Amino acid sequence: MTRYRLTLEYDGTPFCGWQRQDDQPSVQAALERAAAALDGRPVQVFAAGRTDAGVHALGQVAHLDLVKDLRADTVRDALNHHLRPDPVAVLEARAVSGDFQARFDAVERHYLYRIIDRRPPLALERNRVWRVPQVLDADAMHAAAQVLTGHHDFSTFRDAACQAKSPLRTLDEVRVSRIGAEIHLAFRARSYLHRQVRSITGTLVQVGTGKWSRADVAAALEARDRKACGPVAPAAGLYLVSVRYPAPD
């Protein structure tokens, strides 16, 4: 039995999210079907982050165990063959120690949220980015975002259905910048609450439109009350960019 670490890219649009559901397509189910076709038996796949419906990934990490002793590039290519036509790609497969855990060994997850602030509708980037039909002040959004960095009780930015035992989380970085025609929000943290990034993004857009101030964001955080959160941003603009693990000894 060999354990493989996979780096994945996927379009989350047609999926109910990462996690397997009995009556809906999921990224996990697509990968497990591909792995079963490769290994000739049921295979369970575990991910670093359970992305929601419509959320994309540029560098999701997962692991699985295969009975067949295969080269890593063969695993990558065979899985990609069996994944067609699902919009999921294995970018890399690597044989790792049998105690590697994609979820529990991760020390940092990097998310990106993409916004286009323009009046015309989207033709090419539909389901890839959130279109806000007015110009946003990215500098004001960045300044307001800094009150959220560090260790806080994020109850305000936590979905009501969140199953985490504690609302306490540490956001290492929230960076807002204008990149060409887009506004990018970059988040770095070890772990997140359910819909925390989308809740923060929607709140910061209120700042970008001039409806909220930095002080309003600070007050919302301090309230520790979901009702104090701004509108939640849609899933389409969110990407799991990368997952970082401890450097090998």
SS3 of residue 99 by DSSP: coil
Q: How far apart are CA 186 and CA 183, in angstroms?
A: 10
User: Which residues, other chains included, contact 148 with Cβ-Cβ below 8 Å and sequence gap of 6+?
Assistant: 157, 171, 174, 200, 217, 221
Looking at the DSSP bridge assignments, the partners of residue 110 are: 188, 242
First to last CA, the chain: 24
Q: How far apart are CA 3 and CA 96, in angstroms?
A: 6
Quick one: pLDDT at residue 248? 72
With cut-offs at 50, 70 and 90, classify the pLDDT of residue 187: very high
Angle at 156 between CA 151 and CA 162, to 5 degrees: 90
Quick one: pLDDT at residue 249? 57
- Residue 51 tokens read as 């992305």
DSSP annotation of 227 reads G
- Residue 67 tokens read as 């009975």
pLDDT (mean) for 152-175: 95
The reply to whether CATH 3.30.70.660 applies to domain 108-244 is yes
Tens-digit pLDDT profile for residues 1-21: 999 999 999 999 999 999 999
Quick one: pLDDT at residue 151? 98
Quick one: pLDDT at residue 22? 87
User: Can 2-96 and 108-244 be said to share one CATH topology?
Assistant: yes
Tens-digit pLDDT profile for residues 36-69: 999 999 999 999 999 999 999 999 999 999 999 9
Quick one: pLDDT at residue 94? 96
Q: CATH topology for 2-96?
A: Alpha-Beta Plaits (3.30.70)
Q: Which ranges of the chain does DSSP label H, i.e. alpha helix?
A: 27-39, 72-83, 138-145, 196-208, 214-223
Which residues are tagged catalytic? 52
What are the two backbone dihedrals, phi and then psi, of residue 149, each rounded to the nearest 5 degrees? Answer: -75, 155
Tens-digit pLDDT profile for residues 229-238: 999 999 999 9
- Residue 201 tokens read as 């993004």
Per-domain residue ranges for the chain? 2-96, 108-244
